[in-house]
Amino acid sequence: MRPKPMQEFLDAIISAADYYVTDPNGKESLAKIRAALQTPSKMSDGAGAQLPIRDSLEEVAIPSHFHAPELRHLVETFLRLEPMLNWRRRSGDMSCASANFAEGHANANIVGPGGIEWRTDVWLGVTLLSPNVRYPDHSHPPEETYLVLSNGSFCHGDSEWFEPGIGGTFYNSPGIVHAMRSDSTPLLAFWLLWAGAE
């Protein structure tokens, strides 16, 4: 059995993604993720870990600011789960990142390697950027669908920078190079990756 805050969050993010994802590849990926999450996996017994950037969450994750009920409910369930998260800084190639990236970002795996629920088939997590931070170009084998909860810009492949907007979604094919950047306000985005059957 999953802890109640975890199950409520997973129900909320799958419901919101079902509502907002329109890309056919994203929908197909989401269907596999939804099916896999029907079977819980091992839960971490570690405590959450905070970083100073976590304060930016208070600026961007305010349930009353979300008019769409699906997003408001998602943020509410996320905030109940958030104390359990192990926020981390990214390592690796930072050549395209802004100079303030190290202190201006945090990621947390919710499901997947290093997450609250350990599994290898689904990676589900969250990224938080302080204002005016550019995330480095990066790629990974699993396909990925983003659900964006704030203003901010993204690029993938050969695309120009684009702004999905609050409730915006987009799909990253396996191995595609992609990045994100915040503007004058923090950026908050969830990502759902299908890595294949366990």
Say how many domains are in the chain.
1
pLDDT in tens, 77-99: 999 999 999 999 998 888 899 99
Quickly state the pLDDT bin for 189 (edges 50, 70, 90).
very high
CA distance 152 to 161: 10
Residue-wise pLDDT for 19-63, tens only, equals: 999 999 999 999 999 999 999 999 987 778 888 888 899 999 999
Tens digits of residue pLDDT in 127-149: 999 999 999 999 999 999 999 99
Domain that holds residue 126: 4-194
Report the alpha-carbon distance of residue 61 to residue 105 in Å, rounded.
15
Angle between helices 4-20 and 69-81 (to 10 degrees): 150
**Among residues of the chain, what percentage have pLDDT more than 90?**
89
CATH number at residue 168: 2.60.120.10
Instruction: Identify the CA nearest to 12 among candidates 60, 66, 53.
Output: 66
Q: Which pLDDT score is estimated for 151?
A: 97
198 band by pLDDT with thresholds 50, 70 and 90: low
Question: Which amino acid belongs to residue 87?
Answer: W
pLDDT, mean over the chain: 95
Nearest to 81 by CA among 52, 119, 43: 43
pTM of the model: 0.96
